[in-house]
Amino acid sequence: MIEKLKANALSLLLGGMVILAAAIMISRSGGGGGDGGDNTVDVNVPNFSVVGLEGEALFNTSCAVCHGPNAGGSDRAPPLVHTIYNPGHHADEAFFRAVLNGVRAHHWRYGNMPRLDVPREDITKIIAYVRELQQANGIATRPHNM
- Of the two residues 45 and 107, which places its CB atom closer to ligand HEC in the complex? 107
**Would you say 45 or 84 has its CB closer to ligand HEC?**
84
Which residues of the shown chain bind ligand HEC in the complex (CB under 6 A)?
Answer: 62-63, 65-67, 76-78, 90, 94-95, 98-99, 103, 105-108, 110-111, 113-114, 116, 118, 126
**Is 92 in contact with 85 (CB distance < 8 Å)?**
no
CA distances from 138 to 42, 82, 141 (A): 13, 10, 10
Cβ atoms of 108 and 37 closer than 8 Å = no
Asked if residues 36 and 28 have their Cβ atoms less than 8 Å apart, the reply is: yes
Q: Which is nearer to ligand HEC, 48 or 108 (CB)?
A: 108
CB 67 within 8 A of CB 78: yes
> Could you tell me the smallest distance in angstroms from the CB atom of residue 138 to ligand HEC?
19
Residue 130 contacts residue 59 (beta carbons within 8 Å):
yes
Q: Which is nearer to ligand HEC, 66 or 136 (CB)?
A: 66
Q: How far is the CB of 146 from ligand HEC (least distance, A)?
A: 11
Least distance from ligand HEC to the Cβ atom of residue 101, Å:
10
State in angstroms the smallest separation of the CB of 35 from ligand HEC. 8
Sign of the Cα torsion 139, 58, 65, 103 reads negative
